[in-house]
Amino acid sequence: MLRPSLPTFVLFVLLLAGLVAGGCLWREASTPAPHAWLVFHQRSVPRPLLLAAHADANERRAAQLLAETLAAAAGVPRAYFPIRRATASVATPGTIRLVAKSDATSAARPTAETLLQRGVGYEVNAAGLTLWANHRDDLPAAVAWFLAKELQARWFMPGRLGRELPRRSRFALPFGSASVTPGYFSRHLHGLRSPAEQNWFAANQLNNLVVHGHTASQLLTPADFQRDPRLAPEWNGERYLPQSKLDQSWQPDLTQTATSDLVSRALAKQFTKEPRRLAAAFGQNDNWRWDQSAATLAVNAPHRYFRRYPDYSNTLFAFLNRVAADLSPTFPDRFVSTYAYQWTENVPRFAVHPQVLPMLTADRSQWFDPAYAAEDQDLIRRWSLAGPRIFGIYDYYYGRPFLVPRPTLYAVSQSIPFAHAAGARAFFAECSPNWGLDGPKAWLAAQLLWNPAADSTQLLDDYYARFWREAEGPMREFFAICERQWLNQPKPAYWLRYFKDDHQRFLFPPSVRRELGTQLERAAALTRSAIVRERLALVRAAFTVTERFCHHDETRDALSRLALQPPAPTDELLRAFADFSAARRDLLAEHARVKRAYPLAIAGDLLGDYLRNDPRPRVLLELARRNVTGLVDDELRQRLFAGRTPGPRELTAAAPSLLADGGFATLRERRAHPFTLVDWNEGDSPWLGRSEPFERRRMELRAQTGGGQTIHFSDCNQEAVGQWLPVEAGALFHASVNVRGRVSPGNMTYLLVMFVDADGKFTDLGHIDRLPIGQWDEPTSLQLVVRAPANAVRLGFVVRALWQINDDYVEYSEASLRRLP
């Protein structure tokens, strides 16, 4: 037998040692160190996820989130993490268990202390990994917190584009445990409707534990008022009895013990039926038509305003104190949720029952105004000392229906930690994000709700670095510009400025839009990865809607001004008419395209509010008088008039006004307590005046030479004067009113024509002609040309003034409504 030479033998030994050592090194990399448990590695074997045998939808969602994320991090099919039902209460070696410590079947009626213990955590030992939550509905939060902490998983926006997750070849956890209690126990961003948004909601540890709402009309029905008219509000000296559940334009008489007794019984039934319910809701109806009886006025005396609204907090919270006291003996650890909202935002003059849970409503984007921020922070502090054991924060994070970027990260970063430090523990925001325009707003809010002590600057650094990667710089600047536009807007601040208002475009004039477009181009030039390219495409698509929306309003404004001023040359009118028609087509087309291609970019189809101001029919009327309508496309003319265009002879034919008292001569203001001033026409006038009481509100009726009156409004919040007339379906009408005034951005001064059907329902949003921004010292005329829809039976002719600030005012006179032949 041949013997290997010494060098060959040595080489063979060294090679064998190397192979052995290599094998040991591979096993060491694939085997957890002592006292650690291997979740997965490159040669992973399936790791079952065990759920309780009676797992509900929340637990299943938690398991799906965990399985999908672990599989994505490991780069293996999801089948490697199968979801199974546990068959035993003890841990099965080699599994991941999801456990609810306080199971739904463990207590028929858990205490409030139990319901408020919302901690989550995990434990690792030789048997495997156990993820737990005190309550089964918090298991998605437990999973999401674990994945964010241990795998650095992020869900910046819904769907595939929003997830950031580092890939790992190996994931092992040392033996031990960790747990956390979230800062806010109830964390709800409302308006996330799609399946992708619902999954994002769970992945960002959100929940909805405090039930609340405008429930007065649900708890008090028309039948209740018929049985006991004492429940009904008193208006103008008479009890108002709602006839339909659809009628929610009232508040009950909250001074009556009969009202509190009925509500107490209704809420007790809810607690009895749902033993795990923490709170039941009594929220005032969403309006300001409060009871006007002497008893209600006495409760609020001495009368005061708060944020320029009448202060009715004494009325509401005295009532809720009685309801809570009624419930307390049987349900000593349950809560009555309500809204500190508009007329009831302020703290009442007495202590509030500990079982009343107020949600403090405010649009905290107004914190751009230091005076408003200081006032709101003081209010939150005062509520923390007012008596409730729990109070919450209610905000407005839209999104929909805004069509311009509204990140308002300054408000999120400041208000959530501040309110938590003051004692707030529940949170709700109307959100409906425009994911392509609002940036990290919803994500940042979710992180701060979970941990109010987190550094918002570091959170945003994480967002920009991981979500935008190579495009971080320009995208950070894009949203910084948007922030500056909101922060530097003209003062004073007021509730939901620019909500459903075309004047949003004043925050984003052409120069700013160009600057934003430049940042998007810079980002595109830097982008190399496919995922960032897709994310950028979504933002660019949403921003094209912003650009079309702003341009639409700019061209409309130009056309409106030409129509309102002394007769403009025909060629100017035609050019402005064509520009606006093109801008309108572009907006509609681009909005539809983006909604199809990028459903998350823009939240909703709410263009109606922005389209109902269309000056083209009145311009066509002027062109018809000049006998040049033939210069406008015939199909467009017919569409704008919803039928045949009237000719010059028809337009100039004498036709009396259908309005009774078009000169407002019979209009009189009812003398009443200023806190109850709602319907103020007096006597036999056909006009109805409707207003919102407001501090420093000024309304005057000024006699005109030759008869009639001028209506003057200044320092007003919501005012309307109108009348209703029967109409024939299909008839064409020309409405007009003379107007003078001063208009600031956000102020709405307009003529409105609307129609209702035989059931009293509005046929659409109506048609308006709006006075553009500026000073209109010389009288001009707002005009509408509208055709009654096929189902219309009545027409409403209304002049309105909304949200006047600074030196805004309006004067209306000489109204007319003619039927065109």
Kindly report, residue by residue over 15-32, the tens digit of the pLDDT. Answer: 333 333 333 322 223 344
Question: How many whole angstroms separate alpha carbon 306 and alpha carbon 288?
Answer: 14
Helix axis angle, 57-74 to 139-151, nearest 10° = 20
DSSP state of 765: S
pLDDT digits (tens, 9 = 90+) for 466-479: 999 999 999 999 99
- Give percent of the chain above pLDDT 90: 78
Average pLDDT taken over every residue of the chain: 91
Residue 734 has pLDDT above 70, yes or no: yes
pLDDT in tens, 109-162: 888 888 999 999 999 999 899 999 999 999 999 999 999 999 999 999 999 999
Q: Centre a 10 Å sphere on the Cβ of residue 781 and count the other Cβ atoms it contains.
A: 15
Q: For the chain, how big is the Rg over CA atoms in Å?
A: 32
> What is the rounded distance in angstroms from the CA atom of residue 513 to the CA atom of residue 232?
52
**Angstrom distance (rounded) from CA 176 to CA 131:** 12
**Which residue reads 């009812």 in tokens?**
670
State yes or no: pLDDT of 58 exceeds 60. yes
Q: Which pair of tokens denotes residue 625?
A: 């008088």
Q: In what order do the strands lie in the sheet with 709-714?
A: 698-703, 709-714, 809-820, 732-743, 774-787
Q: What's the distance, Cα to Cα, between the start and end of the chain in Å? A: 123
Instruction: Name the residue among 245, 230, 116 with its Cα closest to residue 184.
Output: 116
Please give the residue that has the higher pLDDT: either 244 or 446: 446
Position 627 scores a pLDDT of 83
State the number of CA atoms in the 13 A half-sphere of 552 facing the CB. Answer: 26
Number of residues in the chain? 821
If DSSP states are collapsed to H, E and C, what string results for 778-811? EEEEEEEEEECCCCCCEEEEEEEEECCCCCCEEE
Distance CA 396, CA 41 (A): 45
H/E stretch holding 37: strand 36-41
Other beta carbons within 10 angstroms of residue 815's beta carbon come to: 26
In this prediction, residue 177 has a pLDDT band, given cuts at 50, 70 and 90, of very high
pLDDT of 245: 85
User: What pLDDT is attached to residue 672?
Assistant: 76
Average pLDDT over residues 355-361: 98
pLDDT tens digits for range 95-106: 899 999 876 445
Model pLDDT, residue 538? 98
What distance in Å separates the CA atoms of residue 430 and residue 445, rounded to the nearest whole number?
A: 12
Lowest mean pLDDT among 66-70, 405-409, 616-620: 616-620
> Rounded to whole angstroms, how far apart are CA atoms 735 and 752?
9
The model's pLDDT over 408-424, given as tens digits with 9 standing for 90+, comes to 999 999 999 999 999 99
**More confident position, 215 or 567:** 215
Residue 796 has pLDDT above 90, yes or no: yes
DSSP letter at 660 equals T
Mean pLDDT, to the nearest integer, of 414-438?
97
Partners of 239 in the beta sheet? 234
Q: Which amino acid belongs to residue 737?
A: V
pLDDT band, very low/low/confident/very high, at 44 (cuts 50, 70, 90) = low
What is the structure's pLDDT at 3? Answer: 40
